[in-house]
Amino acid sequence: MPTDPQRPTPIPVIIDCDTGIDDALALLLAVRHPRLDLRAVTCVAGNTDVDGVVRNTLTVLEQAGAPGIPVARGAERPLIEAVRTARHVHGHDGMGDLGLPAPARTPVDTDAVSLLRREILASPRPVTLIPTAPATNIALLLRTHPEVTRNIERIVFMGGAVATGNATPVAEFNVWHDPEAAAILLTAGVPITMYGLDVFERVVVPGADVRRLRASTDPGTRLAGALLTHRGPATDEADPGGGLGDAGAVCAVIDPAGLTTHRLPVEVVLSPGPARGQTLVDRRARPGESELHGDAREQPLVDVALEVDVERYVALYLDAVEGI
Ligand code: BDR
Ligand code: CA
Q: How do residues 38-85 score in pLDDT, each as one tens digit?
A: 999 999 999 999 999 999 999 999 999 999 999 999 999 999 999 888
pLDDT digits over 289-301, tens only?
888 888 877 889 9
CB atoms within 10 A of CB 197: 23
- The total domain count for the chain is 1
DSSP sequence for 252-287: HHH-GGGEEEEEEEEEE--SSSTTTTBEEE---SS-
Is there a contact between 160 and 201 (Cβ–Cβ < 8 Å)? no
| Banded pLDDT at 3 (limits 50, 70, 90) | low
pLDDT of residue 124: 97
The whole-chain average pLDDT of the chain stands at 93
Tens of pLDDT, residues 180-205: 999 999 999 999 999 999 999 999 99
Which residues 6+ apart lie within 8 Å of 257 measured at CB? none
SS3 state at 115: helix
pLDDT higher than threshold 50 for residue 1: no
Ligand 1 contacts CB of residue 110 (under 6 A): no
Query: How much is the pLDDT for 18?
Result: 97
Q: Examine residue 45 and state whether it is found in any structural domain, yes or no.
A: yes
**Structural domain containing residue 40:** 11-321
> Strand 301-308's sheet: what is its strand order?
71-73, 36-43, 11-17, 127-131, 152-158, 192-195, 301-308, 259-268, 279-281
180 part of a folded domain: yes
Q: What is the mean pLDDT of residues 127-142?
A: 98
In 8-132, the DSSP E strands lie at 11-17, 36-43, 71-73, 127-131
45 three-state secondary structure:
coil
pLDDT for the residue numbered 161: 98
pLDDT classification of 240: cutoffs 50, 70, 90: confident
Distance of CA 242 to the CA centre of its chain: 17
* Inside any domain, residue 1: no
Q: What is the pLDDT of residues 80-92, one digit of tens each?
A: 999 888 787 777 8
Q: Is residue 317 part of a domain?
A: yes
* Rounded average pLDDT over 241-266: 97
In a domain, 105, yes or no: yes
Regarding the beta carbon of 158 and ligand 1, being less than 6 Å apart is answered: yes
Residue 305 CA to its chain's centroid (Å): 14
Q: Pick the ligand that lies closest to the CA of residue 91.
A: 1
CATH number for 257:
3.90.245.10
Segment 208-237 shows an average pLDDT of: 85
Asked whether residue 146 is assigned to any structural domain, the reply reads yes
Domain assignment present for residue 291? The answer is yes
Confidence label for 236 from pLDDT (cuts 50, 70 and 90): low
Is omega for the bond preceding 20 within 30 degrees of 0, making it cis? yes
Cα separation of 224 and 188, whole Å? 33
Span from the CA of 17 to the centroid of ligand 2 (angstroms): 6
Nearest ligand atom owner, CA of 44: 2
* 191 assigned to some structural domain: yes
**pTM here?**
0.95
Q: Do 3 and 9 contact (CB within 8 A), yes or no? A: yes
20 close to ligand 1 (CB < 6 Angstrom): yes
